Structures are given as C-alpha cells and as structure tokens.
Amino acid sequence: MNWTKAILNLDRRIIFSIVALVVAWPLISPLALPVVATPEVEAIFQGMDALPAGSHVLISADFDPASKPELQPMLDAVLQHCFAKGIKPTIMTLWPGGPALIQGSVERAAKQFNKVNGTDFVFLGYKPGNAAVMRGMVGGVQNTYANDHYNTPTSGIPIFQEVRKFADYDYFIEIAAGATVEPWLAYAVEPTKVPMGVSCTAVSAAQYYAFVQGKQIVGLAAGMKGSAEYEFLVRGSYSDALTSAGVPAGAATKGMDAQSLVHIFIVLSIIVANLAYFIERKRGPQRRSA
C-alpha cells in the first residue's frame, strides 16, 4: 500500500490517540503562549472597567458542566474583575444544571476577596422559564426571585435596597451556552438600554458578530479563547489585587496551549488528507486498482 492510501485509510484510533497526546502534552508541560485581547473582548472589559466602585452588575451564567472549560473561566474572571474594582455583582442562572457549578465560582471568588454575601454580591440561583424570567427581571428582581440561592428572602438583602429592577443595573453580562442571548436582548436589554456584554461557546459565536456590529451588544468573548483574553485583561489591570487575593492563573489561559496545538494538528491533518486525496485522484481508477 502506498503512503496516500495509508493516509486515506488511517484508522480513526490513531487520530484519537494523537489528539489525546496533543491535548495532554501542554497541560503537563505548559508552553505559556502569549494571549492577545481582541477588540470584541476588550470592549466588554472596558465597559465594565469604566464603572465606578459600588456599581451594580447583573451576571446571567446560563451554562452547565458541558460548557465548563469554555465558560466557567469567564465567570471567574468577571467576578474577579467586579470584586477587585468594588463592583457589586448579582448572579443568576437559567440553566438547571448550572447552580452548583456557579455557586462554586461565586463562593471561591468571594472568599478570595473577602466579600460578604448580600452586601457585596448576591447569588440568586436557578429559576425556570427563560423568557418569562427575563421579562420578570425587567418588572422587578424581588417579584421574580422571592428568595436567593441560599433561601434568604430577597426583601431582606441589602443589595436590593439599591437595585430593584433590571433597568437599575449599570451593566449586564450574559454567559451563554445556549440560545439565551437573543431573548435577553429582546425582553430586557432593548427596552431598558442596559449595556450588555456576551460570552458564549465558540460554536455559537458566529451568530452574534452581527449584534456587536449593530451595537446591540457591547462586545463578545467567544469560547475558551474569549475567556482567556478576559483573564489576560483582568490580570493586566488588577495584578496586585489578584496576587494579594491569592488568585491562581486562569484556567482558560492554561487551556490555550492545548487548544492551539489541537487546532494546528487539525489544520495539518486536513492539508495532508487533501494532498493524499488529490494525488490518489490524479492517479486515476486504473492505477489505483493496480
């Protein structure tokens, strides 16, 4: 068998093994590749960074463990940004599989920065109903969430003396693994004109660039790369605060090495497979069977 046939009939288990190696190698021995922020991610960061201390930000973390590697680093970085700057985040989720994951991020960040639940931040937890919840938040936070995630009545939480409805928030961050960006835009952001930044999985990012150009959303952090860029920006601006809080290097930044090598491998494998395909086609059916 010649090399082109060997390439075209390569056992998929060999490809799987190479992918496993390419992913594992940089995780064991990091390459520390430099991360550069794109204008779309920088816009989200600048929007948040321009807010004065004491401002209120709503974060809707609409993802579950399947999207953890791509989106949880973004949530961590946004929370670190809020706490380092003295901004008060309200965190909620519309995904039933998300609360425990998000609770971990919120409690970890609050502990690192010595923030108090109810005064410096609130975790509202999960509420079913997607668009109905979004519309409910516009009407009033306490009407939608009678209790927070820890079963504390929202009527007694100090933050809700300062913010009562969606329009009272200074900034809104949507971290989406599914189709929640457009409903948030339609039901909450457009009627209230609260600036919105979006973080989403890499596969769904393509559909949101039109909204960035239309200035309906401030910026877009796509996939693990977007999260790594946000981590890079937060660490660049709040290095001292993060160091004194003992915040380790971001998970997305670490993942960029593995993602880089896998992308390179896929591109190379496409090129090699196409070369083999064209050589084999040029040979023609008679020579192929000979």
Partner 1 sequence: MQFLRRQLPVIIAFVVGLSMWVLFYVPTQKSLELQDGFTLWVRIIVGFAAVLGVLSVVNHHYNKIKAKRPGYAFSFITLGAFLLMALSGFIKAPLPGFAAGNNKPDSLHFWLYNNMMLPMQATMFSILAFFIASAAFRAFRARSMEATVLLVAACVTMLGRVPLGELMKLGDPIFLGGPAPIDFPWWSSWLLNVPNSAAQRGILLGVYLSQIAVAIRIIFGIERTYMGGGD
* Binding-site ranges for partner 1 (CB under 8 A): 10, 12, 15-16, 18-20, 23, 33-36, 38, 64-69, 97, 99-101, 103-104, 107, 127-129, 131-133, 135-136, 138-140, 143, 149-150, 202, 205-207, 209-210, 213, 222-223, 225, 256-257, 259-267, 269-271, 273-274, 277-278
Neighbours of 210 (CB within 10 A): 10
Structural tokens at position 272: 């090699």
Minimum CB distance to partner 1, residue 53 (Å): 29
Contact between residue 71 and residue 223 where contact means Cβ atoms under 8 Å apart: no
Q: Between 78 and 134, whose beta carbon lies closer to partner 1?
A: 134
Contact by Cβ (8 Å): 122, 152 = no
Residue 50 or 268: the one with the smaller Cβ distance to partner 1 is: 268
**Strand segments (E) across 63-206:** 88-93, 122-126, 171-176, 196-200
Select 86 or 127, whichever has its Cβ closest to partner 1.
Answer: 127
Looking at the Cβ atoms of 86 and 97, the one nearer to partner 1 is: 97
Judged by CB, which is closer to partner 1: 87, or 174? 174
Minimum CB separation from partner 1 for residue 35, in Å? 6
* 82, amino acid identity: C
The burial of 28, by beta-carbon neighbours within 10 Å (0-12 exposed, 13-18 middle, 19 or more buried), is given as exposed
In terms of C-beta density within 10 A (0-12 exposed, 13-18 middle, 19 or more buried), how is residue 1 classed?
A: exposed
- Distance CA(265)–CA(5), nearest Å, equals 20
Nearer to partner 1, 213 or 289 (CB): 213
Comparing CB distances to partner 1, the nearer of 234 and 256 is 256
CB-based contact 55:63 (threshold 8 Å): no
Q: How far is the CB of 40 from partner 1 (least distance, A)?
A: 9
Give the phi and the psi of residue 281 in degrees, each rounded to 5.
-70, -35
| Nearest distance in Å: CB 245, partner 1 | 20
SS3 of residue 262 by DSSP: helix
In the complex with partner 1, which residue's Cβ is closer, 263 or 288? 263
Reduce the DSSP state of residue 163 to 3 states and report it: coil
Q: Give me the least distance between CB of 52 and partner 1, in Å please.
A: 29
Task: Report, in Å, the least distance between residue 39 CB and partner 1.
Answer: 8
For residue 86, the minimal CB distance to partner 1 (Å) is: 26
240: left (phi over 0), alpha (psi -120 to 50) or beta: alpha
Distance between CA 238 and CA 240 in Å, rounded?
6
**SS3 call for 23:** helix
Cβ 239 to partner 1, closest distance in Å?
20
> In which residue are the tokens 């160091």 written?
243
